[in-house]
Amino acid sequence: MSVMPTRVSVAHSLKRQARSSGAQRWSLSFRYGQLSRAVMMQFYAFLLSVRGQSDTFTTVLPGHTAPLGSWAGTPLVSGASQTGNSINLQGFTASQTGVAKAGDLLQFSGHTKVYMVTADANSSGTGTATLNIQPALLMSPANLESIVTSYVPFTVALASDNADLGVQAGPLYGLNIDMVEVY
């Protein structure tokens, strides 16, 4: 889930006003049911090792190990000092449809922040493409910086200091892990 703090107020005339701070982070919730005791205790020991919200770790979203787009070629950042909600890339295979698809996750090799493509993109005849992304770039990636699109690692911390076990009927356990992105 994307968390984007917004201040909303409604006037007596019922006119709505909204302001976004521009901040964004990902909130992840993993739910595991029917785990054996041996598997559950491995998870639980790991949760204890990160000491509540104190330490960070990386995780990949299950089911999101590969992008939806082809990402054909070797795409790299095209130009330094880019800002905002779009990023220019070069190095795609020329004239390809669907090099990036809405919902693709990406990370620049020199950053830990994860971004999502918000509209499908095609490459030009010269192998360039402009991707619309959310959130806006936190910092400008370097010219020719590489991009991670498979097994995109989220740097996260636990959302709570509590590490709870859920014991179900019989020899099975359930576990819920709530995390927030940190960068």
Question: What mean pLDDT comes out for the span 110-116?
Answer: 96
Same domain, 87 and 135: yes
**pLDDT band at residue 90, thresholds of 50, 70 and 90?**
very high
Phi, psi angles (nearest 5°) of residue 25: -150, 160
pLDDT averaged over every residue in the chain: 93
Same domain, 95 and 146: yes
pLDDT at 16: 94
> Does the pLDDT of residue 81 top 90, yes or no?
yes
Q: Are 106 and 61 in contact (CB under 8 A)?
A: no
Other CB atoms within a 10 A radius of the CB of residue 14 amount to 6
DSSP reduced 3-state for 49: helix
Question: What mean pLDDT comes out for the span 6-20?
Answer: 91
pLDDT at 163: 75
CA distance 60 to 125: 33
Residues shown for the chain: 183
pLDDT at 166: 66
pLDDT at 46: 94
Same domain, 24 and 89: no
Q: What percent of the chain has pLDDT over 90?
A: 79
pLDDT at 20: 85
Same domain, 70 and 85: yes
Per-residue pLDDT tens over the stretch 151-183: 999 999 999 998 777 666 678 888 889 999 998
Strand partners, 147: 108
Same domain, 66 and 140: yes
Specify the CATH number for the domain of residue 82. 2.40.30.290
pLDDT at 174: 84
Per-residue pLDDT tens over the stretch 49-74: 999 999 999 999 999 999 999 999 99
Tokens coding 29 = 């919730």
Number of domains in the chain: 2
Domain hosting 129: range is 61-152
CA distance 163 to 139: 34
Same domain, 85 and 129: yes
pLDDT at 80: 93
DSSP symbols for 117-175: E-S-B---TTS-EEEEEES--SSPPPTT-BEE-SSPPEEEEESSS----EEPSSS-EEE
CA distance 27 to 162: 16
Same domain, 83 and 108: yes
pLDDT at 24: 93
Question: What mean pLDDT comes out for the span 124-135?
Answer: 98
